[in-house]
Amino acid sequence: MFYEEIQKNKIKSWLLVCSFFIIISVLSYVILYYTYFGESAIILAFIIAIISSYITYYYSDSLVLTFSRARPVKKSEYPFLYNITEGLAIAAGIPKPKLFIIDDDALNAFATGRNPEHSVIVVTKGLLKKLNREELEGVIGHEMSHIKNYDMKFATLVVVLVGMVAILSRFFIRSQFWGNKKEKEGTSILFFIGILLAIFAPLFTRLVQLAISRKREFLADASSVELTRNPSGLINALKKISQNPSVKSASQVTAGLFISNPFNKQNFSKLFSTHPPIKERIKALEKMA
């Protein structure tokens, strides 16, 4: 089952990049054509799409780390974190991920990177302060499983690509109030397309994030237990995580990366949540105990 999920995630990642390449090309063309460049906009739009897709694929992890205000962790700061991560990486059969920390008292963590050889695990300072060793092992095991299953590659691409579409959409709306608008045949159709894309970008962002199946969280929980041989560690960790404050540097775009919804107050119904309810995850883990 795990190997099937890995293959599916690799395929979904490439399909996602191709889909967003088309969307970014169209949106860039509409913006450039309608505001400044006319017929030459199609060439510029194609160039923009190529560059943005390249940056997203190879540097999306660095962008996510910047968005999250994460910094590298020194081994001298938290040697136990390094020991746990090294041990679980050996058990998972993957290279040890780089370790970053968010200076926040909230309890949360996420993994990012394009493959196991270029992976990062990010934890909050609160997580390291308030979890005991077996609870921390459960959380790191969960994130290690996302890396091994290539979940984090797909999730990280989603974060950057949907953010890029949202930025382009907002730029198009704002550009209508300034700049050199061209009155040409067909412009009204392009303008209508641009308005539709701009209006539905936030909804599109949410739907794409939901396309990352919630099943991946259950799978990562199960994989964590397979690595640690201790379901109670992750169960107790999830209980503590669910009772703590929001991660200040988190956003609606990056929320899907975290082990649990990083917002204390739920602004969306269960239908539109990026994570399955923690109670359901705990119930599934208890069956493995």
Q: Which residues are catalytic?
A: 143
**What type of residue is 102?**
I
Q: How far apart are the first and last CA of the chain?
A: 20
- Written as one string, the DSSP assignment of 203-260 is HHHHHHHHHS-THHHHHHHHHHHHHHS-HHHHHHHHHHHHTSPPPTT--TTTGGGBSS
Sheet of strand 119-124: strand arrangement:
70-72, 98-102, 119-124, 109-113
If DSSP codes are grouped into helix, strand and coil, which group holds residue 97?
A: coil
Token digits for 157? 């691409």
Q: Which residues contact 227 (CB under 8 A, 6 or more apart)?
A: 88, 91, 92, 141, 144, 145
Alpha helices, DSSP H only, in the chain? 2-32, 41-67, 79-92, 125-130, 133-148, 151-175, 187-211, 215-228, 231-242, 278-286
Give the relative orientation of helices 41-67 and 151-175 as an angle to the nearest 10 degrees: 120
- Which residue's structure tokens are 């949360």? 108
